[in-house]
Amino acid sequence: LQRLPKLLPDGLMRELAYTGRRMPATEALSRGLVNQVFATQAEMLDGVRAIAAEIARKSPLAVTSTKHLLNYGREHSVADTLAYQQVWMGAVSQGDEIATYFKAKAAGADPEFADLPPLD
């Protein structure tokens, strides 16, 4: 119930909360709560793996930063988020991932990024 008010229109959120009505997958798709609906579990797993593979080809630092900034922005004002993003991106751009990306693209290759170190 804590996240629904930010994801759904007020009337729909209250209807679901008060009635306990289950939302069919097709309705969840039309409401933007899910990205895709699959006919079978096997198709769903194939679809999820394809998206995961696409994300895995991207810079781990860029994906992690984007995730963090999207989550931060959900809970803060636009002005606060822009200020936070400016500091965050200034720190992130100090690494070599941007150079790795442009070198690979100039060579007509896909960039290969090092894994991020584990968070201990």
pLDDT at 3 over 90: no
Residues of the chain with CATH 1.10.12.10: 59-106
What is the tens place of the pLDDT at every residue in 52-106?
999 998 888 889 889 999 999 988 999 999 999 988 888 777 778 888 888 998 9
Under 8 Å between Cβ of 95 and 61? yes
pTM: 0.70
Of the candidates 24, 28, 101, 27, the residue with the CA atom closest to the CA atom of residue 60: 101
CATH architecture of 59-106: Orthogonal Bundle (1.10)
Secondary structure of residue 45 in the 3-state scheme: helix
Residue 7: per-residue pLDDT: 86
pLDDT for 25 equals 95
CB 48 within 8 A of CB 34: no
